[in-house]
Amino acid sequence: MKILLIVCDGMGDRPCEELAGKTPLEAAYTPNLDLLASEGMCGLMDTIGVGVRPGSDTSHLSLFGYDPKEYYTGRGPFEAAGAEMQLQEGDLAFRANFGTVDENLVVTDRRAGRIDDVTGLCEAVDGLEADGVKFIIKAGTGHRAGLIMRGEGLSHCISDNDSHEEGAKILEVKPLDGTPEAKKTADALNTWVMKAHEILRDHPVNKKRIEDGKPPGNMILERGPGMLGKVPSMQERYGLKAACVAGAGLYKGVAKVVGMDLYTPEGATGKKNTDVKAKVNKAVELLNGEYDYVFIHIKATDNFSHDGDPKGKRDFIEKIDNAVAPLLELKDTVVAVTADHSTPCSIKNHSGDPVPLLIWGPDMRTDDVGEFGERPCGKGILHRIRGLDLMNELLNQTARSRIYGA
């Protein structure tokens, strides 16, 4: 028996005025998801804990059965892994992006005019050392990059150099605890930031941008420092050969860290224009092949919520429903459809509301829920579980769990 997990990012919502008091999922016409719900079992899930507002990174760890309290120190390593950088134990990783500063180091554009390619700029500073620490940087999409500090005795307990506002000077990185590791890390990062700035300031790409009247990418802003310890793979932990089908970097990163192979079919953009059908078809192909567990991530539900667009979210959920039709033909597979957190359109941000969950498979108890939605799922047989329970339940439903005791 195989497992397919579909996570529609931020799909959980609250009743919307624009949708006559329904949530986008309740308002959407979803015959396929409703059929899965009626043949399977439903419930609500707190991906981290009751009332906790989850980030996407911590919630995904939890959905894969990895306690974020044990494995999470910051977002950086997952972004770096998603950008296909090779992390080593003890590396400190950041989210980074190119911005523009003036001669007084005041940030005039946090995204360097949304510069579309920073490959050349990254190459100019990649591998630079400061205070005995090596700095590895790789271009991401647009103005973004992944940044790794590699050396002895580093700490993630340091502040950002990103002031998160324009018109303010970049911040000096400070140690956030009294350890020599935090001080060493902050000092090295401060030294590197200025070294890199001096190289970038005079780089031909930036000279050309200034000539063209565009803001140069002359400053690297860092945030989300995190250090990764030893993470057992899903193969080691559950005996599952696992794959991820996703377009957006962070989710690929979390999946890669827990040992999944990454697939991004053509058209899977991680944005509103993504090809959901291509993702589902890829997942079916992988399940029919050598994989025991496939995770599909669909990002845009969350984007519509952050934009406060419940009708757009409803329509996108209908697109998901249409794409999942081939799943009804799957044999010997347990399918779970859920979200990593709720992102109510009314607040345009993540909330601690539990998410709807359906689990469908050939041999399981069922309930009377006939529609996939927040309110119907609240009446389901799974009741209200935690994100960390999901993996156990999926292993149980696929007869893969080990007996506890004798």
Backbone phi, psi, residue 370, to 5°: -115, 5
- Mutual angle of helices 276-288 and 310-323, in 10-degree steps: 30
Rounded Cα gap, residues 91 and 73, in angstroms: 12
Binding site for Zn ion (CB under 5 A): 9, 56, 302, 340
- N-terminal to C-terminal alpha carbon distance within the chain: 23
Q: Toward Zn ion, which CB reaches closer, 56 or 398? A: 56
DSSP string, 161-198: S--SSTTSBPPPP-BSSS-HHHHHHHHHHHHHHHHHHH
Minimum separation from the CB atom of position 178 to Zn ion (A) = 34
Q: Toward Zn ion, which CB reaches closer, 115 or 260? A: 260
Rounded Cα gap, residues 355 and 171, in angstroms: 38
Cβ neighbours of residue 99 under 8 Å, at least 6 residues apart?
Answer: 107, 109, 110, 111, 112, 143, 162, 217, 219, 220, 221
Rounded Cα gap, residues 93 and 256, in angstroms: 15
Minimum separation from the CB atom of position 68 to Zn ion (A) = 13
Q: Toward Zn ion, which CB reaches closer, 8 or 294? A: 8
Minimum separation from the CB atom of position 302 to Zn ion (A) = 4
> Using an 8 Å Cβ cutoff, are 174 and 159 in contact?
yes
Minimum separation from the CB atom of position 8 to Zn ion (A) = 9
Query: What is the C-alpha radius of gyration for the chain, rounded to an integer number of angstroms?
Result: 22
Q: Toward Zn ion, which CB reaches closer, 38 or 343? A: 343
3-state helix, strand and coil shares in percent for the chain, rounded to the nearest 5 = 35, 20, 45
Cα 51 to Cα 150, 239, 255, 342, 385: the distances in Å are: 37, 32, 25, 11, 13
Distance of CA 380 to the CA centre of its chain: 28
Rounded Cα gap, residues 24 and 22, in angstroms: 6
Greatest Cα pair distance, the chain, in angstroms, is 74
For Zn ion, which residue has the nearest CB?
56
Residue 6 burial class via C-beta count within 10 angstroms: exposed 0-12, middle 13-18, buried 19 and up: buried
Minimum separation from the CB atom of position 342 to Zn ion (A) = 10
Minimum separation from the CB atom of position 75 to Zn ion (A) = 12
Q: Toward Zn ion, which CB reaches closer, 64 or 291? A: 64
Q: Toward Zn ion, which CB reaches closer, 9 or 109? A: 9
Minimum separation from the CB atom of position 340 to Zn ion (A) = 4
Q: Toward Zn ion, which CB reaches closer, 55 or 361? A: 55
Minimum separation from the CB atom of position 42 to Zn ion (A) = 21
Q: Toward Zn ion, which CB reaches closer, 9 or 13? A: 9
For residue 20, is it left (φ>0), alpha (ψ between -120 and 50) or beta?
A: left
Minimum separation from the CB atom of position 246 to Zn ion (A) = 12
Q: Toward Zn ion, which CB reaches closer, 59 or 398? A: 59
